[in-house]
Amino acid sequence: MENFSINSAKSFLGKHVNLHLKDGSVIVNVHLKSIQKGGTLGKGNQVTYAPYGNHKLSRMPMRSVAWAELLNPNLMQVSG
């Protein structure tokens, strides 16, 4: 399995994913909003996401993410 990089993150932009972190935890059902490349301060690349149903954005260093799992949008639809 390859590392989570800018190229792999770009393929998930605008989609709902589960983010699997290198420490073994999972951030469930988030919408990837953007990727911010590291500046001159050495902060590294960051991924910006919003939890499902929430509009507050959060950031995480890309080096903390092991891989992303694409969610099936048909399973998230509410019937009723």
CATH of the domain at 59: 2.30.30
Is 21 within a domain? Answer: yes
Taking only the tens place, the pLDDT of each residue in 22-66 is: 999 999 999 999 999 876 566 788 999 999 888 899 999 999 999
Residue closest to 9 by CA, chosen among 34, 30, 29, 27: 34
pTM for the model: 0.81
64 located within any domain = yes
Residue 2 has pLDDT above 70, yes or no: no
Compute the C-alpha angle 21/48/41, nearest 5°: 95
Number of domains in the chain: 1
Residue 80 in any domain: the answer is: no
Q: 49 in a domain, yes or no?
A: yes
